[in-house]
Structure 1
Amino acid sequence: KCKERLKSMENMVESKENESQRNPKEIWLFLDEFNTSPDIGWFNELICNRSLDGVKIPDEIKILAACNPYRERKLNKQENEWFGRDHLAQYAYRVFPLCETVKAHLWQFGSLPDLDERQYILEMIKNRKKELKRHLQTAFDNEVPFIVDKICKSQAFVRTKLQDVATVSLRDVDRCLKIFIWLVNKNFTDDIRQCLVISMGVCYYYRLKANEREEYQKVITKDINFLENLKRERDIDRTNGGIKGDIICIIYLHYHDDSKFFVLVGDPGTSKTLSFQILKKNMCQSEIANFRKRLKKESIDLKALHVVSFQCTQNSKAFRIQERWDQAMSHSDDKLIKLLLLDEIGLAEHSKHSPLKVLHYLLENPKISFVGLSNWPLDAAKMNRVIVHQIPNDLDNDLKAIGEAIYKTEHTNLQQTHVDMLMEVFKELHKQISEQYILSKSKDNWLGRRDFYALIRHYMHNPVPSESFQGIMRNLGGCRDPQFQRYVAEILESVSRKSATE
C-alpha cells in the first residue's frame, strides 16, 4: 500500500514538472504507527535514506512518520498463561524494535499536562453547547464547571487503574460528551446531572474492575450520589431474567449517531456472548416493538438490529474482517441498525497477520455499529478507540443466581438443600483447581458457569444428588488427572457426610 501511494505521488511530481519548469509544491507522506509493521527495515530505508528499494525518491516528497511508544505491559498470571509466548504482548502497544538509524530521528511527542488537558476538556464541553436544543442551553451553561470537574476526575482516576496511561485520552472525553448530549436532547431525564452520570458510567465506570468501581464511586460521589443514579437506569427492565450493565451500555451506544464501537472484556463464562444473544433476540425485527414497550422509553427511536458476525481466531486476516464490515454496510434497509460482531476478538490480536489494524481505519468515521467480545484487554491502541465494559468475575453470586433462577422457574424435584449441596461441591472443586494447581497449569476458569448450569439441569430430571453422583461426575469429573480425581472423591465424601449429618 505504501509503495502504491509513493508511486502515485511520484507520478504527480513528474506531471507537475512537465507542466512547468518551476519547482512543484511539496507533497507530504504521513506514515502512522510504522513500528507496528514487521517491515521495519523497509521503513528505515524510506525514512532515513529517502530511497525505496534502492531508488531515490523525489525531493518534493516529504516524509513524516509516527510510532507508538515502547512501554512494558503488566501481565497478570492469567494473561501470562494465555499469551506469555507472544513477544509483542509484552508491551502496551504491539510494536517491533526500531532500527538504530531511525532512533536518531525520533522526537518525543509527550502527553498533555493535567492543566492543559483540563483546558482542552473545557473547550470541548463549550463547543458542544450548539448541539443542544435552545431551551436546554441555559441550564447547560450553569452546569459546565460541574461537568468539567467530574470528567477531569474520571480521566485522572481511570488512567491510574488501566494497563497503560495511554488507554485513556481525549477520545474518551469526546465519546462521553457525545452520549451526554444525546441523552439531554432526547429528554431522557429532566436532570442534566443524571445524563452526565449515565454517560460517565458507560465510558468510565463500567471499564473498571469491581474493587476499582467502588473507589471510583467514592471519588465521584462528593456532589452527586453516583451509584444510586446509575442504578436507577440499570434497573430499567429485567428482560429474560436480568439485563446487565453491558446490555444497557450497548443499547445506549447504538441508538445515537456517533459512538458506535464497544468491546466487552471478561473471563470465560462471564456471560459476554449470552448478554449479546439476549440483546439480539429482543431487538430483532419481530420483537423490537415488544422490547420498546418493556423499556417504557417510547421517546427513544429504538430500531431493530441486523447483525453480521465474525468468529476471530489466531489465524484471522484483515481482509476477512473488511469483508464482514462491507457485508454489514451493504444491507439496504436503513430502518435497521447494522452491527458487526467480532467474537473472540482477543485471539485475532495475536494473529501474525495483524488483522485488527484495519479497525483503526474503519472506526474513524463508522457508518455501522461494532461490538467485540474478548477474554482479555486488547492493546492500548485499540482500547483507546472503543468504549470498554469490563465484566467482573463474581462467581459465587452468579452461582447463587443461577441456582435460584432454575429452581424457581422450572418444574423439578430439587430442593433448596440439593441446590446448596451442588453449589458447595462446585465452589470447593473450583477453589482446589485454582489454588492447588492440581492440573498441569493454573486453570482459574477451567470450571465455569456453563458447567454449573449443566449440572443443575441434569439433576432437574434425574435422581437428586443425595441419591446419585452421576451428574457431578459427568459435568465436573471429566479430567483424568489422578490428583484431580482424588480431590473429587474427597470433596464428594466430605459433602456426603455433611448431608447425612444434617
Structure 2
Amino acid sequence: MSDNIQLFKEYVNFTNVKPLFYRLLLHPGITELSLEEFMKQTVALARQLQVVENKQNIIEIVVFFDEVNTSSRLGSFKEMFMDRSLRGQLLPNNIFFTAAINSYSERNQAKPATDQSNIIQRRDYLVHDLPQTLQFLKCSYSTLPISQSRMYVERNIEMYHVKCIQNMPLEEYTRDTLCNAILDAQEFCLKRLGGNLVSQREIERCFQIFSFFWTTKYTDETEKKPIVCIALAIAVVYYFRLPTKDDRQQCNDLLSPTREEFSTVTIA
C-alpha cells in the first residue's frame, strides 16, 4: 500500500499537465508576430498529441480568440480559419478555432469618428468589418428578451440558494427581491446605455458581489441584512458606473443617464 501511495505522489509531482484550451484577447496592438508567438506552443502541443494518439482518437485543442474584429490582422485569422495555415505554414488538423466579435455597423467602424469627448459613456466602439469569407461563419446572439433574462436570473438564484442552503439560505422574499433588482437595473442600462455596454457579464458580477457581501462576516454581532447586500451589489455593478448630474453638466453631456435617474430603480 505504501508503495502505491509513493508511486501516486511521484505521478502527481512529476507529471506535466498542459491545458487543451487557449484564449487570446485581441486589441489593436496585436501584431502578426505576437499572434504567431501565441500559436507556437499550441501548434507544438497539437503535433505532439497527433503522435501520441491514434488517428481514430486524436485529442483536439480549442483556441478561442476574443474580440477578433478589434484587431487589424483579420487576414491572418482568415488564413487560420479557412486555409488552416499561418504565414503559409500548415496547421495541425486537431486545432479547433472559435472566436467572438463585436457587432459591426457604420457607426462603430474603425475610422476617425465624430467627437465624443463630451460624452461620459461612449455609445460605440471601434471594430473592423470581417473579410467576406468569414462572414458566412458568423452566428448572431442578440440580447436576451426580458422574459428569458428573468428565467436566467431565477435559475442562477435557485442554484445559489441550493449551494448555500445549509449555511446561509436565502428566503423567498430575498430571492424575489434580488431577481427584480437585477432585472430592473439591467433593463434601465440597456435602454439608456445600449446593448453595446451591458451584457450577461453584469448579471454574473451581481451574483459574485452579492455572494461576497452575503458570506463576509464582519463581527459576531453583525446581523445579515439581505437587502443591504443586494443594494451594494447593484451599486457596485450599475450605479457607480454612471455620472452624477454635476458630472454630466461639467462635461456638457446631454445623453448619459445619471445616478439620480438610476435611483428611481427601487429595491423593495
TM-score using structure 1 length: 0.37
The amino acid that maps onto 1:213 is R
Shift of the 127–155 alpha-carbon distance from structure 1 to 2, 3 Å rule, reads: same
Q: Which amino acid aligns with 2:232?
A: I
Distance in 2 separating the partners of 1:168 and 1:214: 19
- Pair 1:218 & 2:264 matched: yes
Identity among equivalent positions (%) equals 26
Residue aligning to 1:112: 144
2:90 alignment partner AA: K
Find the partner of 2:195 among 165, 173, 178: 165
In structure 1, give the amino acid aligned to 2:117. Answer: Q
User: Any stretches of 5+ residues in structure 2 without a counterpart?
Assistant: 1-36, 246-257
SS of the residue corresponding to residue 129 of structure 2 reads coil
Q: Which residues in structure 2 correspond to 1:132-171 (within 5 Å)?
A: 132=164, 134=166, 136-137=168-169, 140-162=171-193, 164-171=194-201
Measured after TM superposition, the shift of residue 145 of structure 1 is: 1.2
The residue number in structure 1 matching 2:206 is 176
**Cα pair 2:43 2:92 within 8 Å, conserved:** no
1:205, distance to aligned residue in structure 2 (A): 1.6
Secondary structure at the counterpart of residue 198 of structure 1: helix
**Contact between 1:158 and 1:208, CA under 8 Å: does it hold in 2?**
no
Q: Deviations over 1:29-87 (max 9, x none)?
A: 3333222222211111111222222233333333222222224359665258xxxxxxx
**Partner deviation per Cα, 1:91-110 (whole Å, 9 max, x = no partner):** 83442332222223222232
Residue 202 of structure 1: how far off its partner (Å): 2.0
- Distance in 2 (CA, whole Å) between partners of 1:9 and 1:51 is 16
Secondary structure at the aligned position of 2:264 is classed as helix
Gaps of 5+ in 1: 81-89, 224-502
CA distance in 2, matches of 1:190, 1:56: 59
C-alpha change, 1:194 and 1:26, in structure 2 (3 Å) is: closer
Distance 2:101 2:116 in 1: 29
Judge conservation of contact 2:46–2:61 (CA < 8 Å) in 1: no
Residues in 1 aligned to 2:197 and 2:187: alpha-carbon distance in whole angstroms: 12
1:8 and 2:38 correspond: no
Q: What does residue range 89-488 of structure 1 map to in structure 2 within 5 Å?
A: 92-130=124-162, 132=164, 134=166, 136-137=168-169, 140-162=171-193, 164-185=194-215, 186=217, 189-211=223-245, 212-220=258-266, 223=268
Shift, 1:189, TM fit: 5.0
Q: What is the DSSP-based 3-state SS (H/G/I as helix, E as strand, rest coil) of the residue aligned with 1:218?
A: coil
Q: Which one has a larger percent helix, Structure 1 or Structure 2?
A: 1
Q: Distance in 2 between matches of 1:131 and 1:178?
A: 14
Contact 1:118 1:148 in 2 (8 A): yes
- CA–CA separation in structure 2 for the residues paired with 1:220 and 1:181: 20
**1:78 aligns to what?**
117
Deviation readout 1:462-488 (Å, 9 max, x if unpaired): xxxxxxxxxxxxxxxxxxxxxxxxxxx
Seen in structure 2, the aligned counterparts of structure 1 residues 197 and 10 have a Cα distance that, compared at 3 Å, is closer
Whichever residue aligns with residue 207 of structure 2, its letter is L
Q: Distance in 1 between matches of 2:103 and 2:95?
A: 26
Report the Cα offset of residue 132 of structure 1: 4.6
Give the Cα–Cα distance (whole angstroms) in 2 for the partners of residues 132 and 205 of structure 1.
27
CA pair 183-132 structure 1, distance change in 2 beyond 3 A: farther
In the aligned structure 1, how far is the partner of 2:63 from the partner of 2:185? 37
Give the 3-state SS of the residue equivalent to 1:69 in structure 2: coil
Q: Secondary structure at the match of 2:44?
A: helix
Q: CA deviation at 1:25?
A: 3.9
2:73 aligned to which of 39, 50, 59:
39
Amino acid at match of 1:142: Y
8 Å contact 1:28–1:64 — kept in the other structure? Answer: yes
* Residue matched to 1:64: 98
SS of equivalent residue, structure 1 residue 128: helix
- Post-superposition Cα deviations, 1:396-435, rounded to whole Å, max 9, x if no partner, equal xxxxxxxxxxxxxxxxxxxxxxxxxxxxxxxxxxxxxxxx
In the superposition, the TM-score normalised over structure 2's length comes to: 0.65
Q: Over residues 200-237 of structure 1, what are the superposed CA-to-partner deviations in whole Å (9 max), with x where a residue is unaligned?
A: 1222122223253222222316x3xxxxxxxxxxxxxx
SS at match of 1:64: strand
Q: Go from structure 1 to structure 2 and tell me whether the alpha carbon gap of 1:75 and 1:121 turns closer, same or farther (over 3 Å shift).
A: farther
Measured after TM superposition, the shift of residue 191 of structure 1 is 2.9
* Amino acid corresponding to residue 143 of structure 1 in structure 2: T
Identify if the C-alpha distance between structure 1 residues 135 and 8 changes in structure 2 by more than 3 Å, giving closer, same or farther: closer
Tell me the secondary structure at the aligned position of residue 117 of structure 1. Answer: helix
Distance 1:48 1:195, change over 3 A: same
Distance (Å, rounded) in 1 between the aligned partners of 2:201 and 2:238: 12
Larger radius of gyration: 1
Query: RCO greater where, 1 or 2, for CA within 8 Å and sep 6 or more?
Result: 2
Distance 1:193 1:101, change over 3 A: same
What root-mean-square deviation, in Å, do the aligned CA atoms of Structure 1 and Structure 2 show? 3.1
1:189/1:195 contact within 8 Å kept? no
**Structure 2 CA distance for partners of 1:205 and 1:21, relative to 1, 3 Å:** closer
